[in-house]
């Protein structure tokens, strides 16, 4: 007789994680290099502090910066969640994911507050 | 003694031994093109009858003699000895429970296979003759139907090592894709429903050990990506 398999079935949930991981990766691939270009400008002396602030102060820059932070938070959350799921196999798994989510949310909100607060 | 093949083989009998050990053997290199399975047979028949391993067809069709050869999973029957560094270290397939020596417990592996219902599912009444496919539709199954379920890919997959209780593993997912792609199958939607799960399917992180290990030269990662793309097409 064929053995019956006992299984909890599909959670119908993996797709969204996978999708957002890739979507945020595309945003990061575009916006993260832009941040490094600015940094490079500072290192080479092409941008002084005021010129840098001029760039960061504009409304478009703040929007893009916000998008970057959101994408970064989503991407990092999805990636770290997968790592936790890979290596932690006890009930602590959910605890660690929750702690990570709270810490990253706080970090993201703090950074967004900085972006929108400076320059007045 | 240059004509001797040196082997070190994993020995473990859970009923007698506390821990596994490696045992050395030397086998004469009898003919050109000798395969690893022939050396194992020589040991079994002439040196040490207690050495235990699975084998059946001896030509890479049945998938019985999957094992870890010098750290890489493969089929002993189609692995030439000439290309192997000596001493050839043989271990059972990783991450499966050892029943004895090179024989592992594949129960869970085939349970997972059964979960994807690896047979043609139809709701339409059976036609008078067989269900037909065009040559193009048949060609879709190339690279999938050749899988012999030897388990070399699945047991080389770190995602399956860590989460094999839920992650289906490359072999089973390649088989799932084989039925998703089959033009005659009428349960594609249910098959996708069943796989749409963060653990069953999306635990694949494209490490690609499966592709490296497959003795038939198949690419389970590509099959898994096809399932993911099909799910994407369904949702967007």
SS (H, E, C) B101-168: CCEECCHHHHHHHHHCCCCCCCCCCCCCCCCCCCHHHHHCCCCCCCCCCCCCCHHHCHHHHHHCCCCC
- In whole angstroms, give the CA distance from residue A70 to residue B118: 42
- In whole angstroms, give the CA distance from residue B193 to residue B214: 27
Q: Provide the shortest C-alpha distance from residue A101 to chain B (in Å).
A: 18
In A, minimum Cα distance to B160 occurs at A86
Last residue of a domain, one of B54, B76, B104: B104
CATH number, domain of A93, equals 1.20.1300.10
B86 & B13 share domain: yes
* A46 contact partners, CB below 8 Å, separation of at least 6: none
CATH number, domain of B220, equals 1.10.1060.10
Q: Kindly tell me the burial class for residue A59, based on how many C-beta atoms sit within 10 Å of its own C-beta (0-12, 13-18, 19 or more).
A: exposed
CB contact under 8 A, A17 and B198: yes
- In whole angstroms, give the CA distance from residue B42 to residue B49: 10
Q: Which of B196, B205, B232 is opposite residue A10, by nearest beta carbon?
A: B196
B51 & B143 share domain: no
Plot region of A59 (φ>0 → left; ψ -120 to 50 → alpha; else → beta): alpha
B100 & B11 share domain: yes
Provide the number of structural domains found in chain A. 1
Q: Which of B159, B162, B231 is opposite residue A15, by nearest beta carbon?
A: B231
What residues in A contact B198, CB-CB < 8 Å?
Answer: 11, 13-14, 17, 85
Please give the pLDDT value at position A4.
66
B20 & B100 share domain: yes
Residue A10 domain-assigned?
no
Residue A4 domain-assigned?
no
Q: Which of A2, A10, A82 is opposite residue B197, by nearest beta carbon?
A: A10
A56 interfaces chain B, CB cutoff of 8 Å: no
- Residue contacts between A and B (CB atoms, under 8 Å): 54
Query: Structural domain of residue A57, as residue ranges?
Result: 18-117
**pTM for the whole structure:** 0.91
Please give the pLDDT value at position A57.
87
Question: Is B72 within 8 Å of B85 (Cβ atoms)?
Answer: no
Of the candidates A12, A5, A13, which has an alpha carbon nearest to the alpha carbon of residue B194? A12
The mean-pLDDT minimum among A3-7, B118-122, B133-137 falls in: A3-7
Using beta carbons and an 8 Å cutoff, which residues of B are at the interface with A? 111-112, 114-115, 159, 162-163, 193-203, 205, 228, 231-232, 235
Taking only the tens place, the pLDDT of each residue in B45-103 is: 999 999 999 999 999 999 999 999 999 999 999 999 999 999 999 999 999 999 999 99
Is the pLDDT reported for residue B105 higher than 70?
yes
Query: Structural domain of residue B19, as residue ranges?
Result: 4-104
B34 & B70 share domain: yes
CB contact under 8 A, B196 and A87: no
Taking only the tens place, the pLDDT of each residue in B160-196 is: 999 999 999 999 999 999 999 999 999 999 999 999 9
Residue A12 domain-assigned?
no
What residues in A contact B206, CB-CB < 8 Å?
Answer: none
* B222 contact partners, CB below 8 Å, separation of at least 6: B143, B211
Residue A5 domain-assigned?
no
Please give the pLDDT value at position B159.
96
Last residue of a domain, one of B78, B104, B130: B104
B213 & B99 share domain: no
Mean pLDDT computed over every residue of chain B:
95
Segments of chain A with pLDDT less than 50: none
B88 & B188 share domain: no
CATH number, domain of B48, equals 3.10.20.30
B14 & B70 share domain: yes
Residue A83 domain-assigned?
yes
What residues in B contact A86, CB-CB < 8 Å?
Answer: 159, 162-163, 203
B141 & B231 share domain: yes
Is the pLDDT reported for residue B1 higher than 50?
no
B215 & B129 share domain: yes
Please give the pLDDT value at position B24.
97
Provide the number of structural domains found in chain B. 2
B140 & B227 share domain: yes
A90 interfaces chain B, CB cutoff of 8 Å: no
What residues in B contact A11, CB-CB < 8 Å?
Answer: 197-199
* A101 contact partners, CB below 8 Å, separation of at least 6: A77
Of the candidates B4, B2, B8, which has an alpha carbon nearest to the alpha carbon of residue B88? B8
B139 & B23 share domain: no
Q: Provide the shortest C-alpha distance from residue B64 to chain A (in Å).
A: 20
CB contact under 8 A, A14 and B202: yes
Question: What is the SS3 string spanning B186-226?
Answer: CCHHHHHHHHCCCCCCCCCCCCCHHHHHCCCCCCHHHHHHH
Question: Is B26 within 8 Å of B5 (Cβ atoms)?
Answer: yes
């Amino acid at each position: 007789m064929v053995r019956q398999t006992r299984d909890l079935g599909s959670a119908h949930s993996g797709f969204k994680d996978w999708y957002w991981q890739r979507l945020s990766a595309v945003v990061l691939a575009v916006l993260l290099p832009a941040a490094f270009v600015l940094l490079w400008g500072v290192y080479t002396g092409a941008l002084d502090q005021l010129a840098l602030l001029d760039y960061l102060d504009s409304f478009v820059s703040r929007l893009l910066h916000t998008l970057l932070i959101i994408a970064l938070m989503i991407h990092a959350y999805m990636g770290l969640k997968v790592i936790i799921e890979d290596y932690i196999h006890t009930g602590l798994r959910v605890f660690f994911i929750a702690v990570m989510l709270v810490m990253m949310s706080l970090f993201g909100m703090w950074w967004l507050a900085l972006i929108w607060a400076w320059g007045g | 003694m240059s004509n001797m093949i040196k082997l070190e083989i994993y020995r473990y009998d859970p009923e007698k031994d506390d821990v596994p050990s490696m045992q050395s053997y030397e086998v004469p290199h009898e003919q050109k093109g000798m395969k690893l399975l022939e050396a194992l047979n020589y040991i079994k028949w002439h040196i040490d009858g207690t050495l235990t391993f699975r084998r059946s067809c001896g030509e890479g069709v049945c998938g019985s003699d999957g094992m870890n050869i010098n750290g890489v999973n493969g089929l002993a029957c189609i692995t030439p000895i000439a290309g192997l560094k000596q001493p050839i270290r043989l271990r059972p397939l990783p991450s499966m429970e050892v029943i004895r020596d090179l024989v592992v417990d594949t129960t869970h592996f085939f349970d997972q296979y059964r979960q994807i219902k690896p047979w043609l599912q139809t709701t339409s009444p059976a036609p008078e003759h067989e269900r037909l496919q065009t040559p193009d539709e048949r060609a879709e199954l190339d690279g999938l139907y050749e899988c012999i379920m030897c388990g070399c890919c699945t047991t080389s997959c770190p995602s399956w090592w860590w989460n094999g209780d839920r992650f289906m593993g490359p072999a089973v997912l390649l088989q799932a894709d084989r039925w998703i792609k089959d033009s005659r199958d009428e349960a594609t939607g249910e098959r996708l429903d069943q796989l749409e799960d963060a653990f069953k399917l999306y635990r694949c992180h494209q490490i690609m050990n499966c592709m490296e290990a497959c003795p038939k030269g198949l690419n389970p990662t590509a099959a898994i990506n096809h399932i993911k793309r099909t799910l994407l097409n369904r949702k967007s």
